[in-house]
């Protein structure tokens, strides 16, 4: 399950995974972000705040996650990962080979720093 909100003033999507990611999570997020991107052309950023990566509920959820990234990464300028999970650092190093957005890892609790960086 993902909690999410779209800050249209700053063009930032906030994601907070709370439990294993489900296929429906990405459908719900796309329903709020896709019309916004259609209207504005892009997002300034996405901030993902999670204490640790919760994994996926099943293979369908993992596939939906990858499709969401594939369908949206070219329309996102920056992605801030706020987590103490080692995956935050790994994503910062590896993801630029697969996505066009700039990615930066922030330690848990550094949400404000992630917001400032994303909105620059």
Rounded distance, CA 86 to CA 21, Å?
A: 18
Rounded distance, CA 61 to CA 23, Å?
A: 4
Q: What whole-number percentage of the chain has pLDDT above 90?
A: 66
CATH classification of 2-118 is 1.20.1070, yes or no? Answer: no
The alpha-carbon radius of gyration of the chain (Å, integer) is 13
Higher pLDDT, 15 or 74: 15
Q: In 6-85, which residue ranges form alpha helices assigned H by DSSP?
A: 23-40, 59-72
Which pLDDT score is estimated for 12?
96
**What is the domain partition of the chain in residue ranges?**
2-118
The predicted-structure confidence for 29-49, as pLDDT tens digits, reads as follows: 999 999 999 999 999 999 999
Cα distance from N-terminal residue to C-terminal residue, the chain: 29
């Amino acid at each position: 399950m993902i909690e999410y909100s779209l800050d249209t003033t700053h063009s930032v999507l906030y994601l907070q995974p709370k439990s294993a990611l489900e296929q429906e999570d990405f459908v719900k997020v796309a329903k709020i972000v896709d019309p916004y991107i259609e209207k504005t052309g892009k997002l300034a950023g996405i901030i993902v705040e999670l204490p640790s990566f919760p994994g996926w509920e099943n293979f369908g959820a993992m596939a939906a996650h990858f499709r969401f990234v594939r369908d949206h990464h070219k329309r996102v300028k920056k992605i801030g990962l706020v987590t103490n999970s080692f995956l935050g650092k790994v994503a910062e190093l590896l993801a630029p080979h697969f996505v066009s957005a700039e990615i930066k890892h922030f330690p848990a609790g550094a949400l404000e720093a992630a917001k400032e960086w994303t909105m620059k």
